[in-house]
Amino acid sequence: MSEGIGARVLRKEDKRFITGKGRYTDDIIEANQAYAAFVRSPHAHARIVSLDTSAALAMEGVETVLTGPELVADGIGNIICGWGITSKDGTPMNMGAWSALATEKVRYVGDAVAIVVADSKSQAQLAAEAVVVTYEELPVVVGSVEALAPNAPKIHDNAPGNVIFDWEIGDLAPTDAALASAAHVTEMEITNNRLAPNPMEPRSAIATFNEAEDHYTLYTTSQNPHVARLVLSAFYNVAPEHKLRVIAPDVGGGFGSKIYIYPEEIACLWASMKSGRSVKWTSDRTEAFLTDAQGRDHVTTAKIGFDNEGKIVGLKVNTKANLGAYMSLFSSAVPTYLYATLLSGQYDIANIYCDVQAVYTNTVPVDAYRGAGRPEACYVVERIMETAAREMGMDPAELRAKNFVRSFPHQTPVIMAYDSGDFDANLKQAQAAADVSGFAARKAEAASRGKLRGMGYSNYIEACGIAPSAAVGSLGAGVGLWESAEVRVNPVGTIEILTGSHSHGQGHETTFAQIVAERFDLPTENIQIVHGDTDKVQFGMGTYGSRSGAVGMSAIVKAMDKVEAKVKKIAAHVLEAGEDDIVIEGGAVKVAGTDKQMLWHEVGLAAYTAHNIPEGMEPGLKESAFYDPTNFTFPAGCYICEVEVDPETGVTEVVQFVASDDFGTIINPMIVEGQVHGGIAQGIGQAMLENVVYDAAGQQLSASYMDYAMPRADDLPNYSVHHASTTCPGNPLGMKGCGEAGAIGSPPAVINAITDAIGNNNLSMPATPSAVWAALQDVSQKLAAE
Amino acid sequence: MKITMTVNGKSVSRDVAGNTLLVDYIRDHLRLTGTHVGCDTSQCGACVVHLDGKAMKSCTMLAASAEGASVTTVEGLATSKDDLHPMQIAFKENHGLQCGFCTPGMIMTATDMVARYQAAGKTLTEDDIRHELEGNICRCTGYHNIVKSISDGASKMTSA
């Protein structure tokens, strides 16, 4: 089947996007629609002394101006974090109150204090500027280390010392003992810079309250509309679930930042009820920098010990995680169960201990951004492995290979049980593609042009499709992490697949159709994927954590199993054959070895006319399934980056980037390669360009595309992408997930390459030309002193 | 004020506020929503249209400045539903898009780029394409397949 599993099928969704017929939230205009603008705090930390809306209310076109105290009085609940973490001492995490509109205090620049609703966008913006708020400024803290200092400003009353939790994993005493006995110990301070996710489509919402039906509709830029409805209903008391429809139409990228339920959606729903108008809000880009949950921001010290043969004996890590001013939806899981559980990397390490202090600061909330915890873990492990190899005078690839896990399943000391992989195969494939043996000659040639050439490895492992639900529940998750699917075969034989996954660039309309085409031997044009509307799909957990393949597609497979069984029963009945003799192929349902057959659509019609189906069988041909995986999946791979540095300027060019990934079964290589390209671009962006910067007063200095260095076409190379796959034993298709690997694996490869080129290991992300140049001066000073 | 221009070959006229941006005229008043807004500093290029045959960021000019002009948006690029522009076909065939949000601006920039190089008799190299894309940001693709698409689109436009 040319359109089945493994085929490079061109995307079904493309035509509407290349012709301008996509339908994103901001493209929609509802009847009687008004526009919202938010009054936001200009201070990073302040008490609200007074708030006067009278001038704004009197302005032309203004429908209403609503504030925090009114929101609280109407019973709208505080924004919650859905993953509970328990500290070392057994106490629960300290979650500070977060109201969609601030009531007494503001805690970061951009914190919303009022919503203005007016006839036009510009009227709403002008009126927002006319709302008079008097603030009493309070001392500000922006960094996690500073927030933990004894006299740091206190951000939430219930979080003494600004500590949200002080959590640990692994065994401390054996790890300390292993490190004490080690032949060689490498110790490093490692910072993981704060990033802004920056999907190109800014967040947007349109809320409509229908008074006659007591019913709400919300169009929103969401990666998981079903969870949004659940949370808006169960925790924020906006409306009961059956009175709230959430639709996430075409969504222009997410990268994690569109998982969460933000203050703006809550406020728009509430303001629609208060004003009787449809209320639309669309973020501008600066507002996105000020309000979209940001990513990373870890400050870590790590210590790794080796025996005299280069085998790892122990790893000890301490991380301070900056979670910003409030706890976003999954913020607590990122620096804990999505981070420290991956610290074993691809290596067999007997002793690991990690403790994490999560802290409040006067900055934008931090939550999952492409990779979410796993890039931070990979960066720690792969930077310290490279550094240790240099210190011990070993080849970095050899040191890694000496410590590879080679038998599966492999239980690490930090929860994860790796189910499959072949790390040697990825390493060898990447080395061949990168022509590692020719590197010395390339380096010499670069030197003849006055350039410093360096090469760096990263052997990443990550965990996708977080599951099973009971296990994540025991770790503190407030939700189950299964997925749902419904397969509807129409009377004419065409098929609709309803999925709880959501596509915002991943190409599900194509890949999901491919697995159906493969199973029933039908063309993908006869298959339609339906997602993103709570009135159509019953429930689902959405798309993040590279879960839509391993979990979302598995649910479709389970539902297809049921459809196939019923199809065979009907055909066996009509064709007077045994069910076991029925095969589905070539658009027909046949009795094997005979010329007896029904066309696929004839089976559909038979199911719906119900004139001649087995006695007792229900009419119709529609089946649903919920799939809960048995384990995480473990994508892994080897990335090799080569750079050239101009020593005069510090300008660094990535001249080669090779990836060898193990994603398990690949449905559509074209789409998987695209995911890897995009992930690597974001990883190179983190390593060389991107950085969210706050000044001491908590003002974000990087809040526009003039100030935040988004990777552009001429900053990036072409990528050499390869696959050496092992099958995942944990799900029916053998898939592992590919959405985040590029962003997880690439940053350490880049920094390992640059530090190799310049001969100075003391280099933080982003390695901008000025940072690289400064590191080079540091080297020359060292050499001069010697 | 009343603003009249030709959009995708049709004369249009709308009464709008004087401070209306061209992109808002196109999106909110003409309801051609293929042209997008991804930033507020003229950096991202999601709003690129052709104004009298040249690529222009429609978020950066007033609709009033386009009075009497001829504007082509992404909706006006294909000659019919089944007859897509070669650059549109190239983006699809080379997987040059993922979420699709930057795509209209990329395609409008790309067609302008190819037309300029062809008019000047210059060959469009990969380096040229990457340099010319300075004003268009994509967060999904890492540009690899966009560069491939434009290169392929240039060949298709030459042979078309």
Summarised one tens digit per residue, pLDDT across range A502-535 is 999 999 999 999 999 999 999 999 999 999 999 9
Examine residue B64 and state whether it is found in any structural domain, yes or no. Answer: yes
Residue of B nearest to A10 (CA): B93
- Least CB-CB distance to B130: which of A250, A674, A713? A713
A349 vs A394: CA distance, rounded Å: 19
Residue B111 is part of a domain; what is its CATH number? 1.10.150.120
pLDDT at B159: 76
Examine residue A412 and state whether it is found in any structural domain, yes or no. Answer: no
**Of A416, A297, A295, whose CA–CA distance to A356 is shortest?**
A297
CB within 8 Å of A720: residues ≥ 6 apart: A433, A434, A656, A657, A658, A659
Examine residue A477 and state whether it is found in any structural domain, yes or no. Answer: no
Residue B67 is part of a domain; what is its CATH number? 3.10.20.30
Q: Is A653 helix (H, G, I), strand (E, B) or coil?
A: strand
Examine residue A26 and state whether it is found in any structural domain, yes or no. Answer: yes
- Least CB-CB distance to B41: which of A253, A706, A712? A706
The count of structural domains within chain A is 4
Statement: residue A613 has pLDDT above 80:
yes
* Each residue's pLDDT tens digit, A349-371: 999 999 999 999 999 999 999 99
Q: How far is B75 from chain A (nearest CA, A)?
A: 5
A297 vs A764: CA distance, rounded Å: 12
Q: Are residues B105 and B151 in the same domain?
A: yes
CA A130, chain centre distance (Å): 38
Q: Are strands A622-627 and A636-645 parallel, antiparallel or unpaired?
A: unpaired
A215, burial (CB in 10 Å: exposed 0-12, middle 13-18, buried 19+):
middle
Q: Are residues A728 and A783 in the same domain?
A: yes
Residue of A nearest to B91 (CA): A18
pLDDT at A466: 83
Q: Are residues B97 and B43 in the same domain?
A: no
Which H or E run includes B56? strand B54-57
What mean pLDDT is reported for chain A? 96
A81 vs A574: CA distance, rounded Å: 55
Q: Is B57 helix (H, G, I), strand (E, B) or coil?
A: strand
On chain B, the residues whose CB falls within 8 A of the CB of A253 are 98-99, 101, 139-140
Is A359:A176 a contact under the CB 8 Å cutoff?
Answer: no
User: Looking at this protein, which amino acid is placed at residue A723?
Assistant: H
Region label for A325, one of left (φ > 0), alpha (ψ between -120 and 50) or beta (otherwise) = alpha
Is A386:A457 a contact under the CB 8 Å cutoff?
Answer: yes
Which H or E run includes A320? strand A312-322
On chain B, the residues whose CB falls within 8 A of the CB of A704 are 39-41, 43
* Each residue's pLDDT tens digit, A524-572: 999 999 999 999 998 999 998 888 889 999 999 999 999 999 999 999 9
pLDDT at A784: 60
Q: Are residues B29 and B48 in the same domain?
A: yes
pLDDT at A786: 53
Statement: residue A598 has pLDDT above 70:
yes
Asked if the Cβ–Cβ distance from B95 to A251 is below 8 Å, we say no
On chain A, the residues whose CB falls within 8 A of the CB of B134 are 712-714
pLDDT at A697: 98
Q: Are residues B38 and B9 in the same domain?
A: yes
- Enter the tokens of residue B28: 């909110």
Q: Of A17, A198, A689, A690, which to mutate for an interface test with B (greatest number of B Cβ within 10 Å)? A: A17
Q: Is A77 helix (H, G, I), strand (E, B) or coil?
A: coil
Q: Are residues B63 and B99 in the same domain?
A: no
* Each residue's pLDDT tens digit, A735-765: 999 999 999 999 999 999 999 999 999 999 9
Q: How far is A688 from chain B (nearest CA, A)?
A: 14
Examine residue A247 and state whether it is found in any structural domain, yes or no. Answer: yes
CA B43, chain centre distance (Å): 14
Examine residue A245 and state whether it is found in any structural domain, yes or no. Answer: yes
- Among candidate residues B23, B44, B76, the one where a domain is terminated: B76
Q: Are residues B129 and B111 in the same domain?
A: yes
Q: Is A565 helix (H, G, I), strand (E, B) or coil?
A: helix
Q: Are residues A168 and A241 in the same domain?
A: no
Residues of the domain holding B116:
86-159
Q: Is A90 helix (H, G, I), strand (E, B) or coil?
A: coil
Averaged pLDDT, A98-121: 97
B78 vs A522: CA distance, rounded Å: 30
* Each residue's pLDDT tens digit, A622-642: 999 999 998 999 999 999 999
On chain A, the residues whose CB falls within 8 A of the CB of B130 are 713-714, 716
Q: How far is B140 from chain A (nearest CA, A)?
A: 5
Q: Are residues A382 and A496 in the same domain?
A: no
pLDDT at B156: 95
DSSP for A124-137, please give it: HHHHHHH-EEEEEE
Examine residue A159 and state whether it is found in any structural domain, yes or no. Answer: yes
Q: Are residues A128 and A271 in the same domain?
A: yes
Q: Are residues B45 and B110 in the same domain?
A: no
Examine residue B105 and state whether it is found in any structural domain, yes or no. Answer: yes
- Where are the strands (E) in A351-491, listed by range? 352-359, 410-411, 417-418, 452-461, 483-489
- Among candidate residues B50, B76, B102, the one where a domain is terminated: B76
Averaged pLDDT, A38-49: 98
Averaged pLDDT, A373-393: 98
Asked if the Cβ–Cβ distance from B99 to A199 is below 8 Å, we say yes
A654 vs A370: CA distance, rounded Å: 21
pLDDT at A785: 57
* Each residue's pLDDT tens digit, A204-220: 999 999 999 999 999 99
Q: Are residues A646 and A772 in the same domain?
A: yes
Q: Are residues B71 and B101 in the same domain?
A: no
A156 vs A279: CA distance, rounded Å: 31
Q: Are residues B67 and B90 in the same domain?
A: no
Q: Are residues A162 and A39 in the same domain?
A: no
Averaged pLDDT, B70-84: 92
State phi, psi for A680 to the nearest 5 degrees.
Answer: -65, -40
On chain A, the residues whose CB falls within 8 A of the CB of B92 are 10-11, 14-15, 18
- Among candidate residues A589, A606, A627, the one where a domain is terminated: A627
Q: Are residues B96 and B153 in the same domain?
A: yes
Which H or E run includes B89? helix B86-93
Asked if the Cβ–Cβ distance from B107 to A18 is below 8 Å, we say yes
Q: How far is CA A205 from CA A36, A40, A659, in A?
A: 10, 18, 38
Is A453:A644 a contact under the CB 8 Å cutoff?
Answer: yes
The count of structural domains within chain B is 2
- Neighbouring C-alpha atoms within 13 Å toward the C-beta of A166: 10
Q: Are residues A568 and A615 in the same domain?
A: yes
- Enter the tokens of residue A692: 């969210």
pLDDT at A301: 98
User: Looking at this protein, which amino acid is placed at residue A417?
Assistant: A
Residues of the domain holding A149:
139-193+294-404
Q: Are residues A152 and A127 in the same domain?
A: no
Statement: residue A778 has pLDDT above 90:
no
On chain B, the residues whose CB falls within 8 A of the CB of A681 are 141-143
Q: Are residues B39 and B95 in the same domain?
A: no
pTM (predicted TM-score): 0.97
A284 vs B37: CA distance, rounded Å: 9
Asked if the Cβ–Cβ distance from A18 to B88 is below 8 Å, we say yes
DSSP for A518-547, please give it: HHHT--GGGEEEE-SBTTTS-----S-TT-
- Among candidate residues B51, B76, B101, the one where a domain is terminated: B76
Dihedral over Cα of B116, B122, B126, B132: its sign:
negative
- Enter the tokens of residue A9: 């099928």
Residue of B nearest to A289 (CA): B39
A254 vs A166: CA distance, rounded Å: 30
On chain A, the residues whose CB falls within 8 A of the CB of B84 are 15, 18-19
Share of chain A above pLDDT 70, in %: 99
- Enter the tokens of residue A270: 């509430």
ipTM: 0.98
Residue B57 binned pLDDT confidence (cut-offs 50, 70, 90): very high
Averaged pLDDT, B119-134: 97
Cβ-Cβ pairs closer than 8 A, A with B, add up to: 178
Is B133:A704 a contact under the CB 8 Å cutoff?
Answer: no
Asked if the Cβ–Cβ distance from B142 to A716 is below 8 Å, we say yes
Which H or E run includes A363? none
Averaged pLDDT, A306-320: 98
Examine residue B81 and state whether it is found in any structural domain, yes or no. Answer: no
Is B98:A199 a contact under the CB 8 Å cutoff?
Answer: no
pLDDT at B99: 98
Examine residue A612 and state whether it is found in any structural domain, yes or no. Answer: yes
Q: How far is B149 from chain A (nearest CA, A)?
A: 12
Residue A241 is part of a domain; what is its CATH number? 3.90.1170.50
Q: Are residues A306 and A397 in the same domain?
A: yes
* Each residue's pLDDT tens digit, A248-270: 999 999 999 999 999 999 999 99
Q: Are residues A563 and A491 in the same domain?
A: yes
* Each residue's pLDDT tens digit, A697-721: 999 999 999 999 999 999 999 999 9
Q: Are residues A302 and A242 in the same domain?
A: no
- Least CB-CB distance to B143: which of A284, A706, A716? A716
Which residue matches tokens 């190179």?
A684
Q: Of B35, B139, B152, which to mutate for an interface test with A (greatest number of A Cβ within 10 Å)? A: B139
pLDDT at A782: 66
pLDDT at A779: 75
Q: Are strands A132-137 and A46-52 parallel, antiparallel or unpaired?
A: antiparallel
The angle subtended at Cα A25 by Cα A259 and Cα A126, nearest 5°, is: 100
Q: Are residues B7 and B67 in the same domain?
A: yes
Burial B21-53 (b: 16+ CB within 10 A, else e): bbbbbbbbebebbbbbbbbbeebbbbbbbbbee
Asked if the Cβ–Cβ distance from A24 to B77 is below 8 Å, we say no
Asked if the Cβ–Cβ distance from A21 to B75 is below 8 Å, we say yes
Q: Are strands A295-306 and A278-282 parallel, antiparallel or unpaired?
A: unpaired
Residue of A nearest to B98 (CA): A505
- Least CB-CB distance to A19: which of B28, B78, B139? B78
- Least CB-CB distance to A20: which of B32, B92, B93? B32
Residue A594 is part of a domain; what is its CATH number? 3.30.365.10
On chain B, the residues whose CB falls within 8 A of the CB of A198 are 139
Examine residue A422 and state whether it is found in any structural domain, yes or no. Answer: no
Q: How far is A508 from chain B (nearest CA, A)?
A: 11
Q: Are residues A286 and A298 in the same domain?
A: no
Asked if the Cβ–Cβ distance from B143 to A681 is below 8 Å, we say yes
